[in-house]
Structure 1
Amino acid sequence: MKRKSVDLHIHSGYSSDGTFSVPELFQQAESYGMEAIVICDHDTCEAWEEAKKESERTGILSLPALELSCIDENRMVHILGYGIDTKAETWMSDTVDKIQTSRIEILPQIQKNLEAEGFAVDMEMVYKLAAPHSPVITNFANAILMDPRNAGNPKLEIYRPGGAKSDKPYIRFIRDYLVAGQKCYVPEYIVDIYSGIQMISEAGGIPVLAHPGEWFTTEDEWKIGRMLECGLRGVEVYTPYHSEEQTLYFEDLAKQHHLFATAGSDYHDLKKKPGHEMGKIEAADMEMFQTLTQMIEEKK
């Protein structure tokens, strides 16, 4: 597929599971001939000041944004927030600080749980993978799968090349062991999805459900009304996470509820997320970016 000129969902090294610096991402985008990229790091807008400078340098358009971690019925869900006021002291900025503090506090228990499950955990590697930020569960998954001491662990064979879950080994490992309801999960400070939507909206942002096919089903449709009341404005319809059937479903859902349909690759690093390549979402284009920009301006 020909690379598109817009990507509304990528990650930088300010995400603990990211790889590339902000300048590196813009260099990549520049080499691809892209016109607009949006960095949506996990629970932080730290990339924005650098992104603004790189945008001015390269002429590649961008917006301040983040991907906020929330909870819904014991499921981790993500809300994209576009156009956040990064300077204001808000409910959201206070929540982000609490999330970051909580993640540091739970690290010893995560390590203990994983070791009890039979995995060797090299905390030095976990911290190295996350540097300069605090580790998150993705860093534990990476460290465990990279650690030679775990090479012969039969529990990990399904994540190795040729295994049933080798297509996205880190993501699959996290889902099997480190999310709510799984053996090694440790609760962290987190807000419910409705509060998350509301706080993004109150911070001047446009709240969009990120890759909803990861959790949202027809049984969740009754929640849309409340989400709209809290300020939901969009759905990430076009994403590598979605099958063709899911894409059609969320296209229809967006139309029914007059929600803006967005597109993003969730690019981190192809080694970490195979198939999630910058600019490779067919539906993404400048019209989509300009509409999103207009929505942000109208909100102001």
Structure 2
Amino acid sequence: MALTGGMIFMIDLHMHSYYSDDGEYQPEELVKKCKEKGIQYMAVTDHNSVRAVGEGREAAQKEGIHFISGVEVDCTFKDRNFHVLGYGIDEQNPVFQKIEDNISVQSEEASVKMLEATRKLGFDVSESDMEKLTETMFWKNRWTGEMFAEVLLNKPEYRDHDLLLPYRPGGERSSNPYVNFYWDYYSQGKPCHVDITFPAMKEVISQIHESGGKAVLAHPGQNLRDHMELWEEIAVSGIDGVEAFSSYHTPEQALFFSHEAGEKQLFITCGSDFHGKTKPSISIRQHGYSGSWEELLKQLEGIL
């Protein structure tokens, strides 16, 4: 970490609470984890929901942590799915309730279709299996690819199933088995994918701006990995920043997007994308940023 004025600044602006359908911890628990890690600036950016903002802010104030209001909204650009982070938003703006309601209704319907698609892979998984898994979660009737992975990987009868071997200890996809199973089977273009109608990226950017926030393209190295030709258009679409430093990015990707941000007058952010058990190899503060924290803070003045 870089020393700035005798202090070490630690920032993590991308993490998820249990208000995300793939998050594990309550906002207060995330604040405690940030305190333990020495985080001084944090944001909880749940998927299509701002429910954690008030709770997180209150808990952070008690711990002396600077809390930035945030959200991560699913959207589309040129028929591809992306995530846009909103920072410094007014979480009371009614647009965020509309975003949550829209996704929630569609997610429940999609969950049933994903269950059917999972069965077509040859797995005996039931609604009761999924309901048992979600009984302690905030969203009871919303199932994700990561949840299907957790259920299947914990069924004894599938211990040696060929499709699951890559996700077991020692397998090539075992670093984050649940989320990797999602990317391989439930993400866009994969056999268990179910379409959900997301708003256009420009619409989401506009909504974030109207709520007083700044819009940042989340983990671009992940979502643009096979479609880098879209980057130039996205960079001038109205976004304010780019999450150059992410647990998803290689050092080369982080360097590329940092350089691109400078060239295109965008600010950069850093976030671990911590979820808990969904991504067990990712911890808070794990985003790869090692530059000047003082310089990063200057860039982020508009949202801190």
Distance change in 2, residues 1:26/1:154 (3 Å)? same
Distance 1:170 1:75 in 2: 22
For the pair 1:187 / 2:195, whether they are aligned, the reply is yes
Distance 1:129 1:254 in 2: 41
Per-residue CA distance 1:194-238 (angstroms, 9 max, x = gap): 22222222222211011000122541233135412xxx1000001
Distance change in 2, residues 1:140/1:192 (3 Å)? farther
Distance 2:183 2:113 in 1: 18
Distance 1:78 1:172 in 2: 17
For the pair 1:276 / 2:286, whether they are aligned, the reply is no
Distance 2:297 2:73 in 1: 20
1:106 match: secondary structure? helix
Of 102, 106, 114 in structure 2, the residue corresponding to residue 102 of structure 1 is 106
Per-residue CA distance 1:136-167 (angstroms, 9 max, x = gap): 42322322222334323211111111112112
1:94 match: secondary structure? helix
Structure 1 residue 39: Cα displacement: 0.5
Distance 1:164 1:15 in 2: 27
1:249 alignment partner in structure 2: 256
Distance change in 2, residues 1:286/1:61 (3 Å)? farther
Distance 2:288 2:119 in 1: 42
Any residues of structure 2 matched to 1:42-191 within 5 Å, and which?
42-90=47-95, 92-130=96-134, 131-133=137-139, 134-137=141-144, 138-191=146-199
Per-residue CA distance 1:5-32 (angstroms, 9 max, x = gap): 2211111111111111111111122223
Structure 1 residue 103: Cα displacement: 0.5
2:34 match: secondary structure? helix
Structure 1 residue 88: Cα displacement: 1.9
Deviates more, 1:257-266 or 1:211-220: 211-220
Does the 8 Å CA contact 1:4/1:282 hold for their aligned counterparts? no
Does the 8 Å CA contact 2:37/2:284 hold for their aligned counterparts? no
Per-residue CA distance 1:151-186 (angstroms, 9 max, x = gap): 232111111111121122122211221112111111
Structure 1 residue 102: Cα displacement: 0.7
Distance 1:168 1:4 in 2: 28
1:35 alignment partner in structure 2: 40
Distance 1:168 1:203 in 2: 34
For the pair 1:210 / 2:215, whether they are aligned, the reply is no
Distance change in 2, residues 1:238/1:82 (3 Å)? same
Deviates more, 1:15-24 or 1:2-11: 2-11
For the pair 1:267 / 2:271, whether they are aligned, the reply is no
What TM-score do the two structures reach when normalised by structure 1?
A: 0.88
Structure 1 residue 76: Cα displacement: 2.6
Q: Which amino acid aligns with 1:52?
A: R
Tell me the number of residue pairs that the alignment of Structure 1 and Structure 2 aligns.
291
1:239 alignment partner in structure 2: 246
Amino-acid identity (%): 32
What 5-or-longer segments of structure 1 have no aligned partner? Answer: none
Q: Over aligned residue pairs, what C-alpha RMSD do you find?
A: 2.3
What 5-or-longer segments of structure 2 have no aligned partner? Answer: 3-7
1:227 match: secondary structure? coil
Any residues of structure 2 matched to 1:193-204 within 5 Å, and which?
193-204=201-212
